[in-house]
Amino acid sequence: MSPFVYYLTTLIIFFFIFAISTWGLNLQFGTAGILNFTYITFFAIGGYFTGVAMMGRPDALSNMRYILGLSLPFPVALLIGAAAAGLLGLLVGLVALRRLRSDYLAIVTVSVGAIVFDFVNVNTAIFNGADGIAGIPFPFNEQLQLDPNTYTFFYVALAGGVTVVLGLLAFRIYNSPLGRTLRAIREDVDVASAFGKDSYRFRMIAMVVGCVYAGIAGGLLVGFISALNPGGWTAGETFLLYAALLLGGRGNNWGAVLGAFLVPVLFQEATRYLPQIPGHAELIPAIRNMIVGGLLIGVLWFRPEGILPERKARFPNVTYKRRREVAEVE
């Protein structure tokens, strides 16, 4: 396989992973209005639990220390990772969603992210501390026995299949009564409650399902790169996903896909392969961040609804039409 083909397949896999992540964030923030500023934490939890569920027990001579070590097949391990992320989202929701709104909820999620990060980073017995876990088995490779080049194409198909399934579910949720109720709660929680909608229960559903999406994306990532450590899930990664969602179009699943392609894949991952400028090793990353920030500011200024805005349902003015009909009869 040529370097360019490997580079392209890697970007495609990253695109699938970030598309799933952005769909989950779009369900929470774009549809339900939940400000989850530690979304990447659920991504990491899903990745960690998927990894340790696939790995065997740590060797006594090994430097790594981690829980579980179940040697489970990838589909089961991925479900465990998704369930762990969803359970953490449920626990956070029990604390934050009932009484807190908007910026106070965001502060709570930031605090939760800091607590989880420090707990994992310091406690080496959980996920090997700051060094993280490595040597995670590649999904299905033990059965397929593929060479590295062929396996990359297989993983593109695997990640793409998962993305299609979760994408269909995301669009189904958006167009369902659940999605319409979540959008009504996002617009005005008091009015939705007045019409008998249990805003806490519906927002909890959005919180948990969005975290499950993050956990699945994290599991797919560790299956591909075979490692994960706390340095890869800082707060900046969450805001990168927010930038993707705001740029592509909040509340629009197609906008989330576009944002996932533009920000995490095109501007963050693709530019990592550019050659460094001699004497200015950090110049390209700095330019990359400035471009993303400038694009975000421009979009919020000139098109705050994003490149692909949410399509609002338009209903005719029934009262006005009825008045005209009555006037014509009279």
pLDDT at 196 over 50: yes
Has residue 122 been placed in a domain?
Answer: yes
Has residue 216 been placed in a domain?
Answer: yes
Residue 34 structure tokens? 């939940």
Report angle CA 179, 106, 83 to the nearest 5 degrees: 60
C-beta atoms surrounding 11 within 10 Å: 16
Residue-wise pLDDT for 12-56, tens only, equals 999 999 999 999 999 999 999 899 999 999 999 999 999 999 998
Q: Given this model, what pLDDT does residue 274 score?
A: 67
Residue 151 structure tokens? 């396996």
Percentage, residues of the chain above pLDDT 70: 90
Q: Given this model, what pLDDT does residue 273 score?
A: 66
Has residue 260 been placed in a domain?
Answer: no
The amino acid at 287: I
Residue 229 structure tokens? 């450590």
DSSP 265: I
Residue-wise pLDDT for 208-225, tens only, equals 999 999 999 999 999 999
pLDDT at 287 over 60: yes
Q: Given this model, what pLDDT does residue 191 score?
A: 85
Has residue 279 been placed in a domain?
Answer: no
Residue ranges of the alpha helices (H) in 27-140? 39-54, 74-96, 102-122, 124-127
Has residue 110 been placed in a domain?
Answer: yes
- Split into its structural domains, the chain has a count of 1
Q: Cα separation of 53 and 74, whole Å?
A: 8
Has residue 71 been placed in a domain?
Answer: yes
Q: Cα separation of 250 and 312, whole Å?
A: 12
Q: Are the beta carbons of 217 and 17 closer than 8 angstroms?
A: yes
Has residue 298 been placed in a domain?
Answer: no
pLDDT at 262 over 80: yes
Has residue 254 been placed in a domain?
Answer: no
Q: Which structural domain, as residue segments, surrounds residue 218?
A: 3-240
Q: Which pTM was predicted?
A: 0.90
Residue-wise pLDDT for 168-185, tens only, equals 999 999 999 999 999 998
Q: Given this model, what pLDDT does residue 257 score?
A: 94
Residue-wise pLDDT for 76-129, tens only, equals 999 999 999 999 999 999 888 877 666 788 888 899 999 999 999 988 889 998
Q: Given this model, what pLDDT does residue 187 score?
A: 86
